[in-house]
Amino acid sequence: MNQVQKLLIIGFVWPEPNSSAAGGRMLQLISLFKAQGFSITFASPAQDSDFMVDLQEYNVEKKAIELNNSSFDIFIKDFDPNVVLFDRFMMEEQFGWRVAENCPDALRLLDTEDLHCLRLARQKAFKENRFFKTTDLFIEEVSKREIASILRCDLSLMISEFEMELLESVFKIDTSLLHYLPFLLEPIDVAEIDQLPTFEERTDFVFIGNFLHEPNWNAVQYLKETIWPLIKKRLPEAILNVYGAYPSQKVLQLHNKKEGFFIMGRANDAQAIVQEARVVLAPLRFGAGIKGKLLEAMQCGTPSVTTSIGSESMHGDLLWNGFITDDIVDFADRAVQLHQDKTLWLKAQQDGIEIINQRYSKGLFESDFRTKMEFLRSNLQQHRWNNFMGAMLQHHTLRSTKYMSRWIEEKNK
């Protein structure tokens, strides 16, 4: 093996940790691979953005790549990575066959973020005013694409235990192809808690979330039309500050000073904002994965009220840092309770810190992940032989996707 191990990350977008939890997650993965001694290049076909991180600060090389362009083949052959990490299944679809063809010995990893097919199937069920059933996943076109991508990869990194179980039970994905790796956070000690703003120093309610993400936009509408009027009736002076990157005109139009409903736009420092708030509200009605906004609330010592979808797979057997309810009236009542009752608030704060320390402390996962990586790289041939479905899909994808891509490339010329 080479002295310095090389990792190529193929990103759907350039990381924006201040815009979304996905951006923060990517920086955590970069840190994890750095600790294992990898030299890292981050490549993406996305346009640069004003809010992307400077990858050089993380000692990561930045490389712009193009879709449907054989220049990528030359690049990857020359770079010759030991490991390739696809950021979401769409990147594996576009570049996976090129990686397999040009660097067949590179370990192929997929970071799913959340299960897109689950999020979309739930969203469709919600909009059709019916309950979601797992059988809905079978008719979702994205399911076929996403599951094929998972099968083609050597290992998929999962942030949600619920989604791992779903893949194993509903889609019969072998456990050897999945690895639980949630958000990787620093544990919180007593000294840090003492430095947080106190109950008395905090005032308002807050919602925070990227508006390009449909579940967030829906939750804000739900707050505005249904939940916030109930809270405002009980607490006439209450204020809700709504923060999120990329607000559309529709979002901005919800701003209403008289109702105490403030659309604040992008948060320059999300942690500072959440630390100043007394309660986080997150009435999510569909979605998937782990909710970065709710973990951030726990890190900031800020209790939250959310739904069963919002809290899914996040707290295990531990108490939530506030309340979980799907009932509108109960949601408003619990929000008021947390806002007004200091004893209840302090208990909720402590429960959130327990969740961070017992379920997301990065020290709990680093060693297992390193061991898994070493095992796969030492037994890659056998691992792939054991995954016949993946090999079959890879075989057919190489042919169908390859020729489609070549045709697009010629057409573009």
- At 413, the pLDDT band (50, 70, 90 cuts) reads confident
- At 20, the pLDDT band (50, 70, 90 cuts) reads confident
Q: Apex CA 161: angle with CA 307 and CA 93, to 5°?
A: 105
Instruction: Round to whole Å and give the CA distance between 75 and 102.
Output: 10
Q: Kind of pairing, strands 5-10 and 38-44?
A: parallel
Stronger pLDDT, 4 or 304, i.e. the higher one: 304
Residue 263 CB contacts under 8 Å (≥ 6 apart), including other chains: 242, 247, 251, 252, 254, 255
| Closest of 208, 288, 277, 259 to residue 18, by C-alpha | 208
Q: Apex CA 101: angle with CA 95 and CA 103, to 5°?
A: 90
pLDDT of residue 142: 96
Query: What is the CATH architecture assignment of 190-361?
Result: 3-Layer(aba) Sandwich (3.40)
246: which 2 tokens?
């990329």
Instruction: Round to whole Å and give the CA distance between 377 and 383.
Output: 9
- At 1, the pLDDT band (50, 70, 90 cuts) reads very low
Instruction: Round to whole Å and give the CA distance between 185 and 239.
Output: 30
pLDDT tens digits along 219-241: 999 999 999 999 999 999 999 99
pLDDT of residue 342: 98
Q: Is 89 in contact with 109 (CB distance < 8 Å)?
A: no
Residue 256 CB contacts under 8 Å (≥ 6 apart), including other chains: none
**Domains 5-184+365-412 and 190-361 in one fold:** yes
Q: Kind of pairing, strands 205-208 and 304-306?
A: unpaired
Q: Average pLDDT over the chain, rounded to whole? A: 94
The arithmetic mean of pLDDT across residues 381-402, rounded, is 86
Q: Is the confidence at residue 31, as pLDDT, over 80?
A: yes
pLDDT tens digits along 302-350: 999 999 999 999 999 999 999 999 999 999 999 999 999 999 999 999 9
pLDDT tens digits along 190-216: 888 889 999 999 999 999 998 989 999
308: which 2 tokens?
């069963």
| Closest of 64, 117, 68, 65 to residue 94, by C-alpha | 68
Query: What is 5-184+365-412's CATH topology?
Result: Rossmann fold (3.40.50)
Q: Is the confidence at residue 401, as pLDDT, over 90?
A: no
Q: What is the dihedral of CA 310, 316, 321, 326, to 10 degrees?
A: 40
- Reduced to 3 states (helix: H, G, I; strand: E, B; else coil), residue 161 is helix
Question: What are the beta bridge partners of residue 42?
Answer: 9, 62
24: which 2 tokens?
């923060």
Instruction: Round to whole Å and give the CA distance between 117 and 89.
Output: 11
Instruction: Round to whole Å and give the CA distance between 52 and 48.
Output: 7
Euclidean distance between the first and the last CA atom of the chain, given in angstroms as a whole number: 39
The b-or-e profile of 78-114 (16+ CB within 10 A means b, else e) is ebebbbbbbbbbbbbbbbbbbbbebbeebbbbbbbbb
pLDDT of residue 57: 94
Instruction: Round to whole Å and give the CA distance between 196 and 264.
Output: 23
Task: Enumerate helices (H) and strands (E) in the chain, giving the number of each.
Answer: 18, 13
Whole-prediction pTM: 0.92
pLDDT of residue 19: 81
pLDDT tens digits along 86-107: 999 999 999 999 999 999 999 9
pLDDT tens digits along 265-304: 988 899 999 999 999 999 999 999 999 999 999 999 999 9
φ/ψ of 84, rounded to 5, equals -120, 130
pLDDT tens digits along 49-93: 888 999 999 999 999 999 989 999 999 999 999 999 999 999 999
Q: Is 271 in contact with 296 (CB distance < 8 Å)?
A: yes
Domain ranges within the chain, ordered by starting residue: 5-184+365-412, 190-361
Instruction: Round to whole Å and give the CA distance between 43 and 66.
Output: 10
pLDDT of residue 3: 66
φ/ψ of 253, rounded to 5, equals -70, -15
Neighbours of 374 (CB within 10 A): 11
Neighbours of 217 (CB within 10 A): 18
pLDDT of residue 313: 96
Please, is 220 exposed, middle or buried when counting C-beta atoms within 10 Å of its C-beta (0-12, 13-18, 19+)? buried
